[in-house]
Amino acid sequence: MADFKIILLQDDADLIFVEMPATHAYQLTALLFRLHKEAGKLTANNVPVLPQVVAECAQVDFLQDQYNTISGLDYINRLEAAFAAIDERSYPIISLLTEIRALQAQLEQWYEEEM
């Protein structure tokens, strides 16, 4: 059975729980930190607001029905779509999209092999 970690993200007052393969969890965390650092350099008007990384957890037990996990692949697909829609074709958007797509490809391969 596959080992997962939960990446807890905070988007304003909302909490997002992303279920990542444990072997790839640090990559999502590092990617989000990099995106935060570089997003300010973008000049387009449609740069997505990124959630803050709050924690990495081995497991989480939900005590309220309003919360659930989303798969890491679903989250990275949404992130890729949001950054691909940015109307800017200069650095760092090309570099950022390359990093997002690299993790996306790794997750697609992981899910094919493990699930």
Q: pLDDT band at 78, cuts 50/70/90?
A: very high
| 63-67, 85-89, 101-105: segment of lowest average pLDDT | 85-89
Count of domains observed in the chain: 1
CA angle 82, 10, 97 (to 5 degrees): 25
What pTM was estimated for this model as a whole? 0.93
User: Which pLDDT does position 84 carry in this prediction?
Assistant: 93
Handedness of CA 38, 94, 32, 26 (dihedral sign): negative
- pLDDT of 90 > 80? The answer is no
- pLDDT of 2 > 90? The answer is no
A 10 A CB-CB count for 55 gives 12
Burial class (CB in 10 A: 0-12, 13-18, 19+), 106: middle
Q: How far apart are CA 57 and CA 35, in angstroms?
A: 21
DSSP code at position 57: E
**Domain carrying residue 100:** 4-114
- pLDDT of 76 > 90? The answer is yes
